[in-house]
Every structure is written in C-alpha cells, then in structure tokens.
Structure 1
Amino acid sequence: MNRMDGNQDRNEQRLQSAASFKAFMLKNSTESNLNLYDYLTRLLIKVMDERPKNVVDLFEDMSHDMKRGLFEDYQSTLRDLPQTTAAELLADQQCLLFSWLEGAEQEEELVETPFPNLNEIGFCLEQAGVGLGREEMQRVFLSLKQLADSQALLRCRLWGKILGTESSYIIAEAEYQEGEEEEEQSTENAAEEEEREARTQENVVDPLPQLTNSPPPVVPKEAIGTGSNKFVYYVSNAPGLPWVKLPSVSPAQITVARKICKFFTGRLDTPVVSYPPFPGNETNYLRAQIARISSGTQVSPQGYFQVGEEEGDEEEEAPRNSYEINPDYEGIPVAEMAESLSTWVHHVQHILQQGRCTWVNLAVKPEEESHEGEEAEDREEEPDEPEPEVGPPLLAPLSQDAEMFNTPPWSSKVSSTLTSQHAIAVLRSNLWPGAYAYACGKKFDNIYVGWGLKYAGEGYSPPVPSLPQKEYPSGPEITEAMDPSLEEEQALKEAFEEQQAAQEEMGDSDEEEEDD
C-alpha cells in the first residue's frame, strides 16, 4: 500500500510540473508576440513534412528560416525619413542669401552701396580680438544687403549682436526716411485716441472720483530723427531670418531700464517682469538698451566729425546735436590713440536723467491747460521753474568720462606690438562689457557683442559672521550648591547660635567696661 501511494504521489507531481512547464511554454514573448509551444510545434511539423537528411545539423537553419518567414509580413525595407532639425531649416533659409539674379552685380557697381564693407571691418575686428567670425560676418553682410534692398535704406550698418538665453539678436542701424515719421506718428495718435475713447466710456458708465493730487507729468518722447530716436534699428535672430523693425523709445522706458537688470530671451514678444514695472515688452526693452549703449559707447577719433551748423540757430548758447564728416581730417597715429583717451570723442548725444538727450521743461503747461486754469477761480500758485539739466556736449573727449565702482571707463591698447606699423588702436568699454571701437588711419568703427547689461560692480559677498560668544564664566558665586542634609542643617544651626551667643557676651562685656 505504501509503494502504491508513493507512485501515485510521484505521478501527480509530474503532471503538475508538466502542466506548469506547458504554461511556461505558452507564455507569449513581449517582442515577437510568439510562444515557445506553438513555435516548436510548427518547427516539428516542418521537419515531418520535409524530412531532410542530417536533420540535426540543419535544425538551427530551419528554425532561423521559419522565424524570418513569420516576420516577413511585418517588416519593411523603407526607412523612416529623419525629422528636419532647426539647423537644417536655418541652412535652407540662408541658402537664399547666396543666390541672386545675373547682372545684379553690374547694376550695383554703378550705384553707391548703402552699407559698409563688412569683410574689411571683420578683418579689423579680428585684429582687435572681437567679432562674429568670418563665416557669420559674411552671412550678416549678405543679410544686410537683403535688408537694404527690401527696405530701400539710404544707410545701413552692423550695430552689433546682443546675446539671449534662447536666441540672440543681430542688430542693424539705419537712417530714418521721409515716410517713416508720419507712419509712426499716425500709429501713436491712433493708440492715444483709443485710450481716450476707453477712458470716456468708463467715465460715462461709472464716473470715478477725481483725485486731488495730480500725477507727475509725462516726459514727452523725442521727435523721430533726433536724440535717442535719431536712428531706426532692425533686429534678426540669425542671418537669413526676417528683419523686424524696432519702435521708437520713450523716456519712461529708458528711465526704468536704468533701474532693472534683465537678460534677453531672444523673443520680442516676451513680457518683461521686473520691479519697477517696465512699460512694454522685450521689444521696447531691447530698444531702450540699444539707446543707452549707443549713447555711452559710440566713439570716433577726434577731428573725424565736426559740429554741423544748423540753420535758424540765433542763440549761440544753444547746444548742438548734429555733426558732419570733416573733409580735412588726416588721421591720428595709432600709438597716440592707444595712449591717450583725449584722442577719442563721443559722437552720440548723452542721455540725461530725464530720459531724453535734450532737456524739456515740464513746468510749462500747454495752451489748452493754461486757458482752463485761468477760468478757474481757485488757482494755485505756479511753482518755481526747475533748473535745466545739462549734459556733456557733443564730441566731448573720453578723458572726461567719470569712473564707476573704482573702475576706469575705458581701456585702450594696440592690436599688435610685433608689427606696429600695421597695427590698429583698440578701445574697450569697461562700463558696457562687449563694446569695442577701433581706428586705423582714416577708418574706424564701433561694434557691440554682449549680453546688453551694464557693469554693476563686483558681486555681493556677505560679511563673515562674528565669532561665537564664550560661555558664561563658572565660579563659586554662580555654581549651584548641593542641598545640605538634616544633620548638616542642625550642625550649622547650632554653630550659628553659638556664634550669636558669643557676640552677645562680647557686647555685654564691652558695655560694662564703658560704665566703669
């Protein structure tokens, strides 16, 4: 009986192990969605049908052929097309810069080009140790040519490149044309009319209480073609991409831009989140920084420009804001320009604290407001006129520039001391890192390649924490004593009573002696 029970148990175990192994063979693969049981069944059926010789040697090849046949319907000989990258798209757009019609060069030889020779400028900038590189400079040169042809610009030059966190800005500087001033004024007037209509509608629906304290007057924007709006600027993220014209800058934007420090993203429609709040988006912030950089770093050799004579200026003390090329300029030696800052001058007007290049008196009211004020019975006394703000004159030498954070505003050098006869004078701004100028003979140029931020001094380093205070000095006066026992208290009490008794006896004896 025991042997029969043992054989029965073994058979049951074998059946269970066979069932579990069959379940394992029926498990589908995650890659091919096949199971070993069906695969072996098909392979054995194939062996039974074909009955090849030396089946042991051909078994692996038959398995490989059968597996290839199973996946033949699902495989394809065609490859997936790779996705076009951003670099390839940019290359396709830059290919258009190198293609133009035949005969265009012959026509251009007869007409004066509106932009300088960037190849020569790039070579000089390479000697100065700055620039965009020959390949990118050539692309920028062709892109400026495309801009000048499409916009019919009279003069166009490469202002520089401002770096951003996502992409950069290539900036071109051009002169205003006669039709652009009317277009910008019309757009500004339309925006002002929309604001007025919105205010009137709000007042009709729900009139708000009038404030007794009037807000400070708004500093008016400088006229187009003068001051900080003397030139128009176009920006592009890369050569070959479309150029975008920047709007004119307002004094409020320049004033707030002086108080904030923000990196550029490379997208013009990005809002500028800062405190104090900036009146505009990154387009306006970029235009304000361009005006500030141009005002502080656009320099030229002394004598290259001369102050122009404006018609209708009767007052001799009126500041001059225009200049013209001096035809009698003969050039300054390179060694002298590298040693002395007095040989360099600013040919862009200084921006005052008011946010304008020319000061305007805000205390003077317009004619309409003055008539309304006269009709009012309670008229306040007019305040004293403020003192006009005066900045450095045009074509002021760089030696008059003030230091900031114990740092000289400029650094000058010669491009090469080995071949000084072919070297150029290089000037670098320390207050606007990235601004460079070079001069050689009768040629000079300015360029800016940087983050568009002004030098703000060394980084803040927190003070070293003071030394930790010492522990309170321990001594018998402050050390906590152990509580005495009952026997010690009684002994102390008896000693204290004996001491008092002895003192009383001594006092009685002293009184008796005094009586005697």
Structure 2
Amino acid sequence: MADPSEEPGSRENSWPGHRADRPEPFASYQASYERDHGPIEPHEPGYGLYQPGYSPYDDQISDTKSRMLAIQNAKAYLLKSSTTSGLNLYDHLANMLTKILDEQPTNAVDIIENISKDVKWAQFQKKMDTLRDEHEILPTFEAAEKQKALFTKESGGGEEEQEEEIGESPLPNVMETAFYFEQAGIGLSKEESYHIFLALKKLISDYPVQTCRFWGKILGLEMNYIIAEVQFQEGEEEEEGEEEDDSEEREKEMGEDEDEDEDETKKKDEPPKSTYKPPPVIPKEENGTGANKYVYFVCNDPSNPWVKLPAVTPAQIVCARKIKKFFTGRLDAPIVSFPPFPGNEANYLRAQIARISAGTHISPIGFYQFPEEEGDDDEEGEGGRDTFEENPDFQPLSVAEMVDSVSAWVHHVRSILEQGRCVWFNPFQKSEEEEEEEEGEEKEEEPGELEREVGPPLLTPLSEDEGIQNIPAWTAYPSTTLIPQHAVAILQSNRWPGAFAFASGKKFDNIYFGWGHKYSPENQNPVLPPPVQAEYPSGPEITEGSDPTLEEENAFKAAKEQALADEEEQEEEQEEENEEEEEDDD
C-alpha cells in the first residue's frame, strides 16, 4: 500500500502550510475537489470552513477513538463560557468566519481584530422585536425632550402684545453678558447660556417680575444650582410671616402654661432655678429691604421648573459664617453641622447667596448715585441710605483706569453686620405698649446697652476692603493686552473665589461660578461648644452641713441635759416663791 503522503491530493497536502516539507499548495486540493464535486460556490453554508476528514489531528493521532476524544476535548474547551461576558470562543470564531465568508472583505487578515470587535458588539445589542423595533432612549434624547418646552412659542397674542413684551420686558440679555465674560475666559457654553436665557424668559412670564438677572451658578456634589435674582413688582410679593407668627403664639402659650405651673409649685419646696436666659431672637429684615431686598429662584437644569428660595434670617447668616458645607443639589437635604444650622439646604443656599452678594456685587464709580430727596441725616444715622438710582450724567472711565486702581469700583449692595442684618436691631428696645404694661409691675434689671453696629455705607470704594493676609481683596486685569482698544475690564474677587465683574463703557455686570465657599488661608476649624454654666452660689440655704463627731455629740447631749436640769430648778424655785407669797397674803 502506497504512502498516503505521496498520493496527490492527500490529507496532509490538502492542509496549506501544515508542514514545511509539504510544498504542494492548496490549489491542487481545490482543483481535485472541483473536478469531483463541481466548483465551490461562495454562498454555500460551509464555504471555506473545516471539512470532515481534513483535520491536523488526522496525521498525528492514528487511533480513531483517541482522535475523536481529542476533538471532543478541544471542542469542550472552546465551548467554555467566559465569566466576564458569558460568551464562548467556539461560537465567536464561528461567527467571525461566517461574517468574513459572507462579506469577503479585502485583506481580511489585516482587519481580523476589528471584525472580532464587531461580532462581540453585535452580541450585546438589544434584541429587536419582529413586529416593531424597540429603540433605545439615550440620555441626550431625554434631555432634548425636556428642553423642548423652552423652544416652544406660546400660542395666542397678536403683534401688539409682542411689541409690548419686547419694549417693557425685564428679561436680561444673557447672551450679551456671556459674550463680555467670554473675553476673559469666564462663563458657560453658548448652548447652556441660551437655555438659561430661555428659562429666564419663562420665569418672568410666570411671575410678576419687575427686574430679573442671571445671578450665577453654584456647584454641588450631585447637581448644580442655576440662580436667578428677581425683584417683584410693588404689592405683588407674597408675604411669608404666618409660620413665624404661629411660632410666637406657641411660645406665648408655653410661657403661660409655665407660669401656671410655677404658681402651683410655689407652695412646695423648689430646687434652685437656673439663671440662664437665652439670647433674644433677632427678627429678619422685611421683604424688599436689607438682606431680603431681592428674591432668588433656583433650578438644577434650565428645563426644570424654578423654585423660590425662602427669605433669610439673621440666625441663618450667623450660623453660615461658622460652618462650611458642600451643596448636594437637593433643596430638602439636611445640614448636619455644629453649631446646628436652623434650616435645610435651601436656607443654607439662601444665606450663602446673601453673603456673596453683599461682598462681591460691585459697579463702576459714578454709575449709581443717591437721590437728592433722601439725604436726611436721620436716615444716614440708621446705617446709611438703602436706595440709589442710575446717574444719567455718568461718564465711563477707560479700561486702563479701571484696571490700574480698584478705587474706580464701588459696592452697590449693603454689607451684612455681625448681627446677621444689614440694619442693626436693638433686641432690648421695647415698644410703647410694653413700657406701659411694665409701669405698674416691678422693673427687672435691664442688661447693659449694646454697642450699635454700623457697617460701611453704600457705594464704598473697593480700596477700603480688607485683604486676606498678603493677598488683596480684588484683582483687576484687562481681558486682552494684544488689542487694548477693544479690551474689557475684569475684576476677580479673592475673598469669594468664582465672583467676577466686567465693565465696558456704560455696561457692567456681576456673576458667580463656584462652590459657594469663602476663601480661608487656614484650615476649617469647627466652633468649640460654649463653656459649662457655673454652679449655683453656695449659701446656708443650699450648703449641706457636715456630720458631727462623737465627742461633739456627747458634749451636745451633756449641754442639753444641763440646760434641762437648770430649767427644772428654776421652775421649782418659782413655785416655792409663789407659795410663799400666797402664805403672806393669807
């Protein structure tokens, strides 16, 4: 029997490149196969794949059973699924070869890696229904659906109403402001700025707004806050005093109940009472004045509805100065800190906005002026004038002059005192009714007079701001030095990182982009708890007597017995004298 390796078309020669000593090409096998079975068509299902009887195992393993066992072991290994993706190599190779034979790309060996990636990617695609495809909703598509409402124009209203809106609308030109800040590399993308522009338009259509301004953006750990500064029309602002009134009434009721309880317990022996008196509650400033001059609306995304922040109280501002918390982006999130903050994240956000506005809202000198009618000395004595107006004769300074000296800028928002208010309030000052009620009662000792806090007046130059160690409070620079004739004056706050202001001719604006925290060269140190209250004063009514010794007890008994004996003798003597007097009378 002839050696099968010498026969033309043998199995070894039919496997191209199997052995270096088999130079016969694969074309001889293909020619013999086509002579017996016809030409091989590309569309046949097994085209180019392994054909039975032509395996590299055939000439290495002589035993048929051993050969089949080796094939089964190899196939079992290839069918082993991956613990990461759940796929197996056998199906992956089969799909790759099927894809190659179906598509027949040029130079398939050079793109075999890309074909493998395409096959894997197809395995993880969402399976489609035969009746209707299920399209995957991308996050960008969901965001576009939410923002679609910003681009829809409200139906109704003729040309006259549109002209009135264009002429009298308080809507600010956000895109123009963004253009000026963009000269210095400050601001948001044009897409987000335009979305905020449309969101502000929706805000002024929902509320009776007199003035509106894009305040800025405060960053959060989960979501960010987009903030709008609004001033309502006169008489349109909602009053928010019901909750406080209810709390005051409850406190009065509790006080009355305590007085009744005290009257009942006076008859009994009472322990010493505490002399601690809580500090008086500082009332908040009325809406439209001081720290509550403006109303602020926030939202996490321009497509979301605007949420009105509550008015700020002095206690919240005082506590906000002592803590430092990152915002989460959820207004109802609690503020866990020491000292405890009186409110949630919405109140903390409102307090930080008030602090940032009081310290960073500036304008070119001479742009605002005080009204001549309000120049009374009495009003200035209460902490300065609170109103100002635009100067019609304002002549802007050049960019070089506004950059060289910060004295060319002034504050147009009142500073907040240590008390937490812009106008100082005397907590011990009593009204006329309270004084009349106390005339008939005993006057209690009045505490010493508090020193009146007076802050810097409005329109104070920035040159009077205190620096931070060796760092100045403000840094001024032009937007460009290459084209100075078209430069914009930019001012950056070093005390509140993220606060900027620009001025170009008669146009200026303020904006804030940051985390809402004040710069501190030192580490944040929590406030220590207050000192422990002193003990009650010692005295004979409270001090406990010491136990006597045995000698003192014996001496006390002896003295007591002697005193009793002396009393008995005196009584006997007195009786004898009385008897003698009676005998004499007889």
Q: Normalized against structure 1, the TM-score is what?
A: 0.70
Show CA shifts across 1:275-311 (max 9, x none): 1100000000000000000000000000000023465
Indicate the residue corresponding to 1:50 in structure 2. Answer: none
Aligned pair in 2 of structure 1 residues 417, 387: CA closer, same or farther (>3 Å)? same
Partner amino acid for 1:252? A
Alignment-derived partner of residue 146 in structure 2? 93
Contact 1:176 1:230 in 2 (8 A): no
Instruction: Name the CA distance, whole Å, in 1 between partners of 2:197 and 2:214.
Output: 8
1:156 is matched with which residue: 196, 212, 234?
Answer: 212
**Partner Cα distance (2:454, 2:136) in 1:** 59
Matched with 1:108 is: 162
Mapped pair 1:350 → 2:350: no
- 2:234 maps to what in 1? 178
The answer as to whether partners of 2:300 and 2:329 remain within 8 angstroms in 1 is yes
Return 304-313 or 207-216, whichever deviates more.
207-216
Pick from 363, 366, 380 the counterpart of residue 428 of structure 2: 363
Aligned residue in 1 for 2:508: 444
Does structure 2 retain, via aligned residues, the 8 Å contact 1:427–1:438?
yes
What residue in structure 2 maps to residue 70 of structure 1?
none
- Please tell me the residue identity of whatever aligns with 1:449: F
CA distance in 1, matches of 2:373, 2:277: 38
Query: In the alignment, which residue of structure 2 is the partner of 1:10?
Result: none
- How far is 1:200 from its partner? 6.3
Match of 1:226 in 2: 289
Please give the alpha-carbon distance, in whole angstroms, between the structure 2 residues aligned to 1:154 and 1:75: 54
Q: 5 Å matches for 1:306-317?
A: 306-309=369-372, 313=376, 315=378, 317=380
**Structure 2 residue corresponding to 1:77, chosen from 130, 141, 144:** 130
Q: Distance in 2 between matches of 1:458 and 1:121?
A: 35
C-alpha spacing 1:146/1:86, structure 2 compared with 1 (3 Å): same
Instruction: Look up the match of 2:344.
Output: 281
Shift of 1:404: 1.6
Q: 1:136 to 1:75 in 2, by over 3 A?
A: closer
Between the two proteins, what is the percent identity of the paired residues? 55
- Letter of the aligned partner of 1:355 in structure 2? G
Q: Is residue 358–residue 416 contact of structure 2 (8 Å, CA) maintained in 1?
A: yes
Q: Answer whether contact 1:308 1:320 (CA < 8 A) is retained.
A: no
Greater relative contact order, per chain length (Cα 8 Å cut-off, separation 6+): 1
* 1:310–1:352 distance in 2 versus 1, CA, 3 Å: farther
Please say if 1:241 is aligned against 2:297: no
Task: Determine the structure 2 residue equivalent to 1:382.
Answer: 446
Kindly provide the amino acid, as one letter, of the partner of residue 172 in structure 1: A
What is the match of residue 405 of structure 2? 340
The 1:373/1:215 distance shift into structure 2, 3 A limit, reads: farther
* TM-score calculated relative to the size of structure 2: 0.62
**Pairwise CA distance, 1:180:** 5.0
- Is the 1:128–1:438 Cα contact (8 Å) retained in structure 2? no
Separation in 2, partners of 1:137, 1:289? 23
Deviations 1:226-283 (A, max 9, x none): 1100000000101010000011100000000000000000000000001110000000
Q: Which of residues 215, 228, 245 in structure 2 aligns to 1:189?
A: 245
Q: Which residue of 1 aligns with 2:16?
A: none
Question: 1:434 aligned to 484, 498, 501, which one?
Answer: 498
Residue 402 of structure 1: which of 439, 463, 466 is its match?
A: 466
Match of 2:333 in 1: 270
Structure 2, unmatched stretches of 5+, are: 1-71, 83-126, 525-586
Report if the CA contact (8 A) 2:492-2:499 is conserved. yes
Q: Deviations over 1:25-70 (max 9, x none)?
A: 9xxx999xxxxxxxxxxxxxxxxxxxxxxxxxxxxxxxxxxxxxxx
| Partner Cα distance (1:381, 1:143) in 2 | 57
Q: Structure 2 CA distance, aligned partners of 1:398 and 1:248?
A: 28
CA RMSD of aligned residues (A): 3.3
Q: Which residue of 2 aligns with 1:143?
A: 199
Alignment partners' CA distance in 2, 1:192 and 1:310: 38
Distance of 1:280 and 1:290 partners within structure 2:
15
Instruction: Show the counterpart of 2:223.
Output: 167
Q: Distance in 2 between matches of 1:86 and 1:200?
A: 59
Unaligned runs of 5+ in 1: 1-20, 32-73, 461-516
Tell me whether 82-91 or 388-397 shows the greater mean CA deviation: 82-91
**SS of residue in 2 equivalent to 1:183:** coil
